[in-house]
Chains A and B, each alone.
Chain A
Amino acid sequence: MRASHGWFFASLLAAGCSGAPEARLVPLPPQREMAAAPDLPYERDFVFMTEARASAMIVRDIAGPGVQRWTGQNPAMRFSLSEAGEWVAEVRFNATRQTLAETGPITLAFAVNGRPIGTMRVADDAVKTFSAPVRLSTREAELSFAIDKPWTSRLDGAKLGVLLHAMGFKRAASRKQP
């Protein structure tokens, strides 16, 4: 009697062990319609710091990762544009109240491939957008800016500039786009 009980339990377990082979094809899932909604714009040559490709474009002085990245005194990013010609260089950033309290108003001097394209004075922590038209003779472009008075750490001498949100180049015609 006990032996038959043992076989009964063993057969129960064995029955549970044998399963059907994994099905690799499934019915078509419900089809979703994308809802229209505002979002960060995605452009080939303009990069938000949250994007994965941003890190690969950094030349110097930009920490990461993050939606906003701290810059040093002279940050730069390199872009391989789709073509040479008329472009608008654009940088979106904000200074912080804490660093401005020690440095006072700062001035950012922007450049493309080392040639100055303009300056901006910053005295508050609001988000700022610098943009300037540029004419490029090559597809390779290095966009950079220099900060006249970076915040300097008393502990290790590290220099902090601004919080960078996005930078890059936009088509001259798309300058008005968000």
Chain B
Amino acid sequence: MIGIIWGATAAHLLTVSLGLLILYPLRVRLSAMERWAAAAACGLPAVTGLAHLLSAAGLFRRGVLQLLVAVSTIAAVWLYRRSAFGRRAPGEGLSFLPVVFMWAWIAFVAAGPDLTPPGEDAALASAHRFVSRFEAAPWSIGAVWAVPYAIGRHSAAALFHSSLLLPAAAPLGRFGWLAMLLFISHPGLMALGSRAGSAAAFVLSLLVAAGAAALALLHKEWRLTAVAILSAVAAVLAWPGPLDVFPGFVFLKSPYWLVPFLAAFAGWLVTPVKPAAFALAAFAVLTGAPPVTEHLASVQPKAAELEGLVEARFLDVLPPAAVVLTDIPMPGAWTPRRLAPHPEWLDEARRVAAAQWGQRRIQFPSSRIVEVKPSGFIGEAILSSGGQEIPRRPNWRVWPPGAFDGLPFTGSEGPIRIDTGEELAAGELRIIGTEGEPWTPPSGLRRNVVLEWRRRGITHVLVRDPQLVEEFSFHAEYWGVDPLGERNTARLYALR
């Protein structure tokens, strides 16, 4: 939970502090909240550029990001240490209401299981692609999402609501109400809250409605906008039938960095041109009408497009402490369960099932370092001299480590290097792997693969590979696995 909140907070610190650094030489006269809004608007593209730059340099890592957050925050505080906070815009304090609520809600969500509606994961999937070095377009929202994701890891819901739209829009001061009009007071979202059981969205809607009503009473020039917001609320509450669409997708499909700019521009526009408020209210009502929202951003097609989502949700049946090894690509954010970091560990089971074992013997001269470059998989490398096996010693340095652990199914391809730390007499290196003369493995390899996985902390496997599915199904007693269920042709097994 702390990691998630820190991830979101750090991302915002980075965004706002970079924005403040950009704004500093411009010397624009702004109120405190307006400065925050402008900093968010300038900082978002800067964070995107920074994320791409770090990724290209191979530095998009948690530690580097946290260092940059610290440096940019200190630099911004130092630059602005003598600046006055400026005048307060009328009514801007009201915009903190939803912000406070959202942060409390984020903490609540982060403490529990991730119940994000599937479609919302689109942004997280985008972030994951970016973090995983897959292609992400520069204008993709994923580049910004990747920052809190890399720092705070898991949680779709908390990051979605905290990382971009609300905190970027809500503190906009007098402009913030326009962002509210565009986003929070969206009829679809309120309908989702009131009709689909999301208490958080419903409370948020009420806060916005209360804020809008207070604004109408306090400030004459905002009455028109407030009336438009309240009308939108009323229109949604009167809408018949359930909704299964989420209007946030309208923004996910847009260039994300335009949102603060558009909100600021709309705020500026509405003040002198009152009909603009009607136009914006009409926009919100129109795009929030269920058929329109469904057309713009339906949940179902997105869920279907996201490979691995159905299987990730399947893992919810497991206990919270479960660690799952799977061959199905899925972002860790899609499941509250931990995923084993190395899907290639499943190759150990494939190797044992294939039973393609062989051994080779290579002579080596007297030396301290033994190095050979055999082909094929190397499971174990055993040194001997004068017909006697040379016992491995703790001071040896070796490569690959999997070929020196006593388990023939762990290892890799490539060269073998051994530094014994002392001169060895000439001898023989016996390589057990997939090539050479036939080698009969000891009995129990299947069970030992599973026991090794258990040592690494894995409790379950989720596989779709037909070979593994057949092995775990027909030879379950040899592996020591228990079938738990099937979803979307993927089978889930518990490791004994």
A residues adjacent to B (C-beta < 8 A): 2, 5, 9, 12-13, 16-17, 24-44, 48, 50-53, 65-68
- Using A24-B399, A26-B401, A67-B475 as known contacts, say yes or no to A32 and B406 having CB atoms under 8 A apart: yes
Q: A28-B392, A52-B354 are in contact. Are A67 and B444 (CB under 8 A)?
A: no
Residue of A nearest to B396 (CB): A28
Is the CB of B35 closer than 8 A to any CB of chain A? no
Residue B59 is within 8 A (CB to CB) of chain A in the complex: yes
B398 close to A26 (CB less than 8 A): yes
- A67 vs B352: C-alpha distance in the bound complex, in angstroms? 13
Given A32-B405, A52-B355, is A12 in contact with B438 using a C-beta cutoff of 8 Å?
Answer: no
Interface segment, one of B95-103, B153-161, B248-256, B445-453: B445-453
With a cutoff of 8 Å between Cβ atoms, the chain B residues found around residue A16 in the complex are 57, 59, 64
Could you tell me if A35 and B397 are in contact, using CB atoms closer than 8 angstroms? Answer: no
Q: Known contacts A17-B57, A32-B406: does B442 contact A40 (CB below 8 Å)?
A: no
The listed residue (B71, B394, B448) touching A34 by CB distance below 8 A is: B448
Task: Say if the beta carbon of B471 comes within 8 Å of chain A.
Answer: yes
> Are A35's CB and B447's CB within 8 A?
yes
- Asked whether, in the complex, the Cβ of B393 is within 8 Å of the Cβ of A52, the reply is no
Sample of 11 further A-B pairs with CB below 8 A, known A25-B397, A29-B398: A16-B57, A16-B59, A17-B57, A25-B398, A25-B399, A25-B417, A29-B401, A34-B442, A35-B447, A42-B355, A51-B356
B485 part of interface (Cβ distance < 8 Å): no
Closest CB in chain B relative to A10 CB, distance in Å: 11
CB-nearest residue of chain B to A14: B57
Q: A17-B57, A32-B406, A65-B467 are in contact. Are A12 and B67 (CB under 8 A)?
A: yes
Query: A26-B401, A51-B356 known; A39 and B417 CB under 8 Å?
Result: no
B467 near A50: Cβ-Cβ < 8 Å: yes
Q: Which of B417-433 contact A (CB under 8 A)?
A: 417, 419
Q: Which residues of B381-425 are within 8 A (CB) of A?
A: 392-399, 401-402, 404-407, 417, 419
Give the dominant DSSP class at A's interface. Answer: loop
Instruction: Assess whether B353 is interfacial by the CB under 8 Å rule.
Output: yes
Given A37-B448, A66-B467, A27 contacting B397 (CB threshold 8 A):
yes
Q: B319 contacts the other chain (Cβ, under 8 Å)?
A: no
Could you show 21 A-B contacts with beta carbons less than 8 Å apart? A12-B68, A16-B64, A17-B58, A24-B417, A26-B401, A27-B396, A27-B397, A28-B397, A29-B405, A31-B406, A34-B407, A34-B444, A38-B444, A40-B446, A42-B440, A42-B443, A50-B471, A51-B355, A65-B467, A67-B470, A67-B473
Instruction: Give the distance to chain B from A39, nearest Cβ to Cβ, in Å.
Output: 5
Report whether A37 and B447 are in contact in the complex, using a CB–CB cutoff of 8 Å.
Answer: yes
Interface residues of B (CB under 8 A from A): 25, 53, 57-59, 64, 67-68, 71, 75, 353-357, 392-399, 401-402, 404-407, 417, 419, 438, 440-448, 451-452, 466-467, 470-471, 473-475, 477-478, 480
B394 near A32 with CB under 8 A, answer: no
Closest-by-CB residue of A relative to B414 is A24
Contacts of A36 in B (CB 8 A): 443-444
Q: Known contacts A28-B393, A67-B470: does B446 contact A39 (CB below 8 Å)?
A: yes
Beta-carbon contact of A13 and B356 below 8 Å: no
Q: Which residues of B contact A25 (CB under 8 A)?
A: 397-399, 417, 419
Residues of A within 8 Å of B474, CB to CB, are 67-68
Contacts of B480 in A (CB 8 A): 37
B443 touches A13 (CB 8 A): no
B399: chain A residues within 8 A (beta carbon):
24-26
Interchain nearest-CB distance for B90 vs A (Å): 35
Q: B444 to A35, Cβ gap below 8 A?
A: yes
For B466, what are the chain A residues with a Cβ–Cβ distance below 8 Å? 66
| Contact partner, A33, options B353, B402, B406, B417, Cβ 8 Å | B406
Contacts of B405 in A (CB 8 A): 29-32
Q: Which residue of B lies closest to A19 (CB)?
A: B58
Contact of B447 among A12, A29, A31, A39 (CB under 8 A): A39
B272 to chain A, nearest CB (A): 35
Q: How far is the CA of A93 from the CA of B445 in the complex (A)?
A: 23
Contact B448 A26 (CB under 8 A): no
Q: Are B57 and A38 in contact (CB under 8 A)?
A: no
Q: Which of A17, A32, A65 contacts B407 (CB 8 A)?
A: A32
Distance in angstroms between the alpha carbons of A39 and B441 in the assembled complex = 11
Most A CB contacts (10 A, CB to CB) among B59, B355, B452 go to B355
Q: Evaluate contact between A44 and B440: CB separation under 8 angstroms.
A: yes
C-alpha gap A55/B402 in the complex (Å): 28
Pair B71/A12 contact, Cβ less than 8 Å: yes
Cβ of A53 and Cβ of B448 under 8 Å apart?
no
**Interface contact A5-B396, CB-CB below 8 Å:** no
Contact (Cβ within 8 A) A17 B59 = yes
Most buried by B among A24, A51, A66: A24
Instruction: Collect the chain A residues with CB atoms within 8 Å of residue B419's CB.
Output: 25
Contact B353 A50 (CB under 8 A): yes
Q: Please, which residues of chain B bring their CB within 8 A of the CB of A66?
A: 466-467, 470
- Pick from B53, B57, B443, B452: contact of A32, CB below 8 A: B452
In the complex the two chains form, is B448's CB within 8 Å of A35's CB? yes
Contacts of B68 in A (CB 8 A): 12
| Chain A neighbourhood of B438, CB < 8 A | 44
Instruction: Tell me whether A26 and B447 are in contact (CB under 8 A).
Output: no
The answer for the CA separation of A52 and B438 in the assembled complex, in Å, is 13
B407 and A50 contacting across the interface, CB-CB below 8 Å: no
Indicate if the CB atoms of B398 and A38 lie closer than 8 Å. no
Q: Nearest Cβ in chain B — how far from A8, in angstroms?
A: 8
Complex contacts, B71 vs chain A, CB 8 Å? 9, 12
Bound form: Cα–Cα A12–B474 in Å: 56
Closest residue of chain A to B398 (Cβ to Cβ) is A28
Task: Given A16-B64, A66-B470, decide whether A50 and B354 contact each other with a Cβ distance below 8 A.
Answer: yes
Measured CB to CB, the closest approach of chain B to A176, in angstroms, equals 16
In whole Å, how far is B347's beta carbon from the nearest beta carbon of chain A?
Answer: 13
Chain A residues positioned under 8 Å from B448 (CB to CB): 34-35, 37
Chain B residues with Cβ below 8 Å from A41 are 443
CB of A83 to closest CB in B, whole Å: 14
The residues of B that contact A65 with a CB separation of less than 8 Å are 467
Q: Which of B67, B404, B473, B478 has a CB less than 8 Å from the CB of A28?
A: B404
